[in-house]
Every structure is written in C-alpha cells, then in structure tokens.
C-alpha cells in the first residue's frame, strides 16, 4: 500500500487508497460482527454461559478522549485484532462447585502481530487463530468460579487439546488452538466438543 504521507501521490492513487480503506472497514465490521456472534452462540449452547468481560491482550485499551492519541500505538485503535472474550455461567453460584466453568475465546487475527510496537506496514502475516480456554472447577470452593478465575495466571506453556494444572488447587484449564479458518467452518464439531468439556457430567482427571 502506498504511504499517505507521500507528497506527490496522484489524485487517482489517493482515490484508490480511500476506496481500499472503505472496503477494508466494511469487511472488518462484518467479520467481527459474525465472529463475536459465534462466541456468544457457542457459550450459550454450552449450558447458559453469558458474557463476562473482554479486553485486548497485546495492547492497552483505546485511550480516552482527553488523551493525546498521537502518543499511543496505532494498534490500540484496533483492539479486536488481538483480544479475549470471557463468558461465565448465567446462574453462577456464589460458591463454586465441580463442573462450574469460565470460557475464554482468544481471537488473534494475525499471529505475526506480537507487540504494540510492531509497525503495521512491516508486519509479516502469519496464521490467524482462535484459542479456547476452559477454566473448570474441580473441587468445592468458597469463591465463585469467575472470582477464582481472577486469582491465578495460566501456565506459561500449554499442550494443545489437554487439561492443565493451574496455580489454584480448585481449577484446571483446558486449552485448544484452532486456525481461524477452521474455527469458522467447523462450528458444529466445535460446539459438540465444548458442550462435552463443560458438561457437569464430564470428569477431569485430577492428581
């Protein structure tokens, strides 16, 4: 793409650049609208999980209106590009019981993007992915599962398609990475798999 800072850009090239920008925004709006609807539908069909919170995981949130935007990373204005969407039980008990879960969908549109310091025009594109995390209570707790979820960090390394110990004795975390295109086209099998893993009858092996 031609730089918009070039002084000698022709009117034709400038018009072409604007058209590309308009198409890109419309495509992105439609893509995000659909992918977020997938998250919500999958969470609901797992047994009534409802939206808990969201946030970018490689950047800060978009700055407030009184903060000078020119001193912030341009990536902060594209927060959905690499972001987490978290769902909890709509009827979550105040004291967690085995089988209570928190679902996290991590959207990473391009895994070549690893830092808010990455210059967009030099970014080497890699696979897009959605990583699914299921944090599941494995023993009765005095805290709700969503509150317990906030007290520990995920392990540094995950084995794909497996349950992992966490810093909490009450919780286990399941991790699965999907290529973005596979997540989009394999909704039925993903739904079936997530429903099985979040079922109250499902047994997680514990030490």
Answer whether residue 5 is part of any domain. Answer: no
Q: What's the pLDDT at 37? A: 97
Answer whether residue 1 is part of any domain. Answer: no
Token pair recorded at residue 109: 């549109």
Q: What's the pLDDT at 206? A: 56
Give the structural domain span for 56.
11-198
Number of domains in the chain: 1
Answer whether residue 159 is part of any domain. Answer: yes
Distance CA(147)–CA(144), nearest Å, equals: 5
Low-confidence ranges of the chain (pLDDT < 50): 1-2
pTM here?
A: 0.91
Distance CA(31)–CA(78), nearest Å, equals: 13
Answer whether residue 207 is part of any domain. Answer: no
Answer whether residue 143 is part of any domain. Answer: yes
Answer whether residue 61 is part of any domain. Answer: yes
Following DSSP, what letter does each residue of the chain receive, concatenated? ---TT-TT--HHHHHHHHHHHHHHHHHHHHHHHHHHHHHHHHHHHTTSEEEEEEEESSSPPPPPTTS-GGGS-GGGG-GGGEEEEEEEETT--SS--TT-EEEEEEEES-TT---TT--GGG------EEEEEEEEE-S--SS-HHHHHTT----S---TTEEEE-SSTTEEEEEEEEEHHHHHH-HHHHHHHHHHHH-TT------
Distance CA(45)–CA(104), nearest Å, equals: 14
Q: What's the pLDDT at 3? A: 52
Nearest to 103 by CA among 83, 88, 82: 88
């Amino acid at each position: 793409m031609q730089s918009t800072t070039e002084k000698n850009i022709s009117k034709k090239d400038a018009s072409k650049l604007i058209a590309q920008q308009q198409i890109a925004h419309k495509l992105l709006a439609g893509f995000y609208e659909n992918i977020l609807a997938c998250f919500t539908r999958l969470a609901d069909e797992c047994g009534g999980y409802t939206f808990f919170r969201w946030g970018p995981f490689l950047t800060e949130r978009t700055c407030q209106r009184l903060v000078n935007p020119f001193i912030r990373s341009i990536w902060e204005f594209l927060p959905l590009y690499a972001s987490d969407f978290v769902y909890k039980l709509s009827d979550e008990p105040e004291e967690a019981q085995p089988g209570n879960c928190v679902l996290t969908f991590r959207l990473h549109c391009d895994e070549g993007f690893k830092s808010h310091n990455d210059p967009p025009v030099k970014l080497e594109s890699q696979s897009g992915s959605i990583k699914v995390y299921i944090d599941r209570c494995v023993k009765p707790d005095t805290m709700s599962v969503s509150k317990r979820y906030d007290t520990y960090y995920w392990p540094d390394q995950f084995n794909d398609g497996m349950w992992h110990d966490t810093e909490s004795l009450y919780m286990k975390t399941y991790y699965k990475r999907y290529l973005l295109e596979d997540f989009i086209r394999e909704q039925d099998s993903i739904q079936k798999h997530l429903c099985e893993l979040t079922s109250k009858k499902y047994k997680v092996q514990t030490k």
